[in-house]
Structure 1
Amino acid sequence: MSVQERKQRERAERERLIVATARELAEQQGWDAVTTRRLAERIEYSQPVLYSHFQGKREIIGAVALEGATELATAVRAAASAVEGPRARVSALAHAYLDFAERNPAVYDAIFQLDGGLAFAHEDTPAPLKDAFAALLESLGEVAGEGVHPGLFTEVFWAALHGVATLTRAGRLPPGDVEWRVNLLVDRLAVL
């Protein structure tokens, strides 16, 4: 291995460490606790080393968001592929989405609530964000109904899931009724 290759590998490892540490700190204490000073202390590198990887917190949030989007896409696809039939796939997708949001609140916020400097619904949208949407579209497109654009249907269904996730976490919806909400959402919106 050349010196250049070793340096690139070490740089990639440091970047992964920064992202993992930011994510862990955010999940434990919230995004306000994630500062370059605290990250530098936790990973035992100087702040200039952090800045050599990320210009600031916004870029770190963006990196966590991209990692989280990949995980969300994987979870949704795994859930939908584990069952048979359109209704079961859509229901499994909805539960996987809501479970991800509940288990990873800081990552979910990085993807959908915080400014990580990422473009959504644009030509330059990063691939992990496009793939997360594609993971939803794969199952939801088949239940959009005749004459309904599958992409628009997916956006509306996703918006409803996002609303359930954020309102439940904020304590505005009772957490015990998630199953009822998913059933209502699937039954009312999906053409089965």
Structure 2
Amino acid sequence: MGVAERKLRQREEVRTSILKASWDVVEKEGWQALSIRRIAEAIEYSIPVIYTHFENKEAILLEFTREGYLQLSQQMKAAKTLSDDSRRQLQDMAEAYWAFAFSHREHYQVMFGLGMPACDLVNRVEEIKLFSNVLLSVLEKAIAGSSQPGQDVFLKFHSYWSILHGLVSIKMMSPTEGHVSSSLVLQDAIGGFIRNFD
């Protein structure tokens, strides 16, 4: 192995160790505990080394956001294949979204820590576009087969995603079940949304 290849491999190893150390901090202490100093201490490198790989903490967070959206998109695509009926697909995808949020809490929190991503972020991050396109394709199909085919697909997109994100956020803030189970609330909310295509 040549010198250039060795340097490239070492650089990739340091980058990987930065991401792993970051994830370890997040899993143990939450996103608020993550800092460049903590990462540097964990991998036993100086702070400037971290900055040669990531411009700032936000760049590390963006890496985890991309990873989270990629995983979520894969799960949504898998759920979409469970049925050919667009209404059933919406229900299956809602359940997959819900399952992802609670089995990948840390990713979900960084993906939505400051609310829904702004449009300019969606246009810059390919993984967010991928996720959006999965939802839009099913919504377009549902609208085309509805009694009102002229409905605004982007309005339906934001409504659907808002339902999912809102329910997940409520559940994350108060994890104990109330007098109504969270899965029943999810089914009722998505069921009501789907009935609008009649």
| TM-score between the two structures when normalised by the length of structure 2 | 0.82
Q: Which runs of 5+ in 2 are unaligned?
A: none
**1:182 matches 2:186:** yes
**1:81 matches 2:81:** yes
Deviation of 1:161 after TM superposition, in Å, equals: 0.4
**1:159 matches 2:162:** yes
Structure-1 separation of matches of 2:5 and 2:154: 42
Change (3 A) 1:170 1:179: same
Residue of structure 2 in register with 1:37 after alignment: 37
CA RMSD of aligned residues (A): 2.5
Deviation of 1:89 after TM superposition, in Å, equals: 1.3
Whether the aligned pair in 2 keeps the contact of 1:141 and 1:151 (CA below 8 Å) is no
Q: Deviations over 1:111-147 (max 9, x none)?
A: 11249xxx73227421111112112223233224421
Deviation of 1:61 after TM superposition, in Å, equals: 1.0
Give the alignment of 1:1-192 within 5 angstroms: 2-114=2-114, 120-122=118-120, 124-144=123-143, 145=146, 146-171=149-174, 174=177, 177-190=181-194, 191=197
Change (3 A) 1:72 1:13: farther
| TM-score between the two structures when normalised by the length of structure 1 | 0.84
Identity among equivalent positions (%) equals 28
Whether the aligned pair in 2 keeps the contact of 1:70 and 1:128 (CA below 8 Å) is yes
Change (3 A) 1:159 1:39: same
Change (3 A) 1:57 1:3: same
Change (3 A) 1:5 1:94: same
Whether the aligned pair in 1 keeps the contact of 2:91 and 2:191 (CA below 8 Å) is no
Residue identity opposite 1:156 in structure 2:
S
Deviation of 1:74 after TM superposition, in Å, equals: 0.8
Change (3 A) 1:125 1:47: same
Residue identity opposite 1:49 in structure 2:
V
Whether the aligned pair in 2 keeps the contact of 1:27 and 1:104 (CA below 8 Å) is no
